[in-house]
A = this chain, B = another copy of it.
Amino acid sequence: MLELSRRALLTGSAALAAGALGGSLPGHAAAPAAGRQAAAFYRYKVGDYEVTSINDGARTFPMPDGFVRNVSKDEALAAAEAAYMPKGQVTVPFNPQIINTGAKLVLIDTGYGPGIAPSVGLLPAGMAAAGIDPKAIDIVVLSHLHPDHINGVKTADGKLAFPNAELKVPTLDWAFWMSDENMGKAGSDMMKAYFQNTRKILADQTGKVTKYDWGQEVAPGITAIDAHGHTPGHTAFALASGNARILIQSDVTNIPELFLRNPDWQVVYDSDPVVASQTRHKILDMAAAERMTVIGFHFPFPAIGHVEKDGTGYRLIPVSWSPVI
């Protein structure tokens, strides 16, 4: 029987061999294929707070040269393939979080926004499915000013996507990305594009944004934590309600399959790769020691898990989907 099973698995032909084809009525058509994925949101509680993790989408692209600065492309691709990513490619997901504190509705990071690719910019669809009105967002907090975190601030016609929200940005990231002197020194095309993009999305908010510093609450129960290295002002967040607390690590690691397993690997997006790696170790060591629930912007949706030390790196234990909150 095992041989039959093996043949069925490998060729799908066992039944044909056995002559037992299920009867398919000519002319009968099943319900039409839906052809689209579920809008992805997931709810969880942190004390009295209700949090909604929303998947803005994911991008799968051929791994560029230098994607991991300090290991060979073959080694980086082997890690991607070990995680069952398509051969030669890498998949990066994006997961904003919406926190309802009871008094404030707070969005942390806004995703890629419209017009980049069909597989991203899905935050508005996810919010609609979750029943959250963009007009009801009180505070938008940006962890740093990279495109996949800030572009969702604007709609396709350049209006504010969250028109009633206070927009909070890290003081040090604002200073870095809005500096014309820094833009003039940008070496790579990627960095030049990042500087231009920051202006495109945020220049008209100059004088309107609220700048925040590490150690401050950006909203009740949400404390900004120094996580610089990825960018000069890159920020993680501790979310606390009652005795419950979680760590929103933002981009302390990019995709866990590569950079949480190998915390010394330097992703091309890190402004200061050496400091970014030090930050990874410090914050992830703490999260592992305290068995904290950790949210990662680039973790696979719902982007929630626990981090454990594993050899010289870490591993992510993803949360098991709960049908109730």
Query: Which residues of the other chain, B, contact A38 by a CB distance below 8 angstroms?
Result: 40-43, 129-130
- Scoring A residues 56 to 97 as 1 if CB is less than 8 Å from chain B, else 0, what string do you get? 011000000000000000000000000111000001010000
Protomer copies:
2
In whole angstroms, what is the CA distance A286 to B6 when docked? 7
In whole angstroms, what is the CA distance A84 to B15 when docked? 42
Q: B320 to A223, Cβ gap below 8 A?
A: no
Query: Which residues of the other chain, B, contact A55 by a CB distance below 8 angstroms?
Result: 321, 323
Q: B20 to A217, Cβ gap below 8 A?
A: yes
Interface set, chain A 107-162, CB cutoff 8 A to B: 118-120, 122, 129-133, 136, 138-139
Taking the closest CB of chain B, its distance from the CB of A152, in whole angstroms, is 14
From known contacts A1-B226, A8-B238, infer whether A58 and B91 are also in contact, taking CB-CB under 8 Å: no
In whole angstroms, what is the CA distance A226 to B7 when docked? 12
Q: B226 to A5, Cβ gap below 8 A?
A: yes
Q: B103 to A28, Cβ gap below 8 A?
A: yes
Contact of A131 among B21, B34, B283 (CB under 8 A): B34
Q: Range of interface residues on chain A?
A: 35 or more
Q: A34 to B43, Cβ gap below 8 A?
A: yes
In whole angstroms, what is the CA distance A50 to B33 when docked? 6
Q: A292 to B9, Cβ gap below 8 A?
A: yes
- Scoring A residues 291 to 319 as 1 if CB is less than 8 Å from chain B, else 0, what string do you get? 11000000011100010000000000111
Q: B133 to A31, Cβ gap below 8 A?
A: yes
Q: B321 to A301, Cβ gap below 8 A?
A: yes
Taking the closest CB of chain B, its distance from the CB of A35, in whole angstroms, is 7
In whole angstroms, what is the CA distance A138 to B93 when docked? 36
Could you name 20 residue pairs across A and B whose Cβ atoms are closer than 8 Å?
A: A1-B214, A2-B282, A4-B215, A4-B225, A8-B215, A9-B290, A10-B245, A14-B238, A21-B220, A28-B138, A29-B102, A30-B102, A31-B133, A34-B50, A37-B42, A38-B41, A55-B321, A58-B323, A93-B320, A119-B323
Given contacts A5-B238, A300-B318, 15 further A-B contacts (CB under 8 A): A5-B283, A6-B286, A15-B215, A22-B220, A24-B103, A33-B100, A35-B325, A37-B322, A58-B323, A84-B306, A84-B319, A91-B320, A93-B321, A119-B323, A301-B320
Chain A residues in contact with chain B, CB under 8 A? 1-2, 4-6, 8-12, 14-18, 20-22, 24-25, 28-31, 33-38, 40-43, 50, 52, 55, 57-58, 83-85, 91, 93, 100-105, 118-120, 122, 129-133, 136, 138-139, 213-223, 225-226, 236, 238, 240-241, 245, 247, 282-283, 286-287, 290-292, 300-302, 306, 317-325
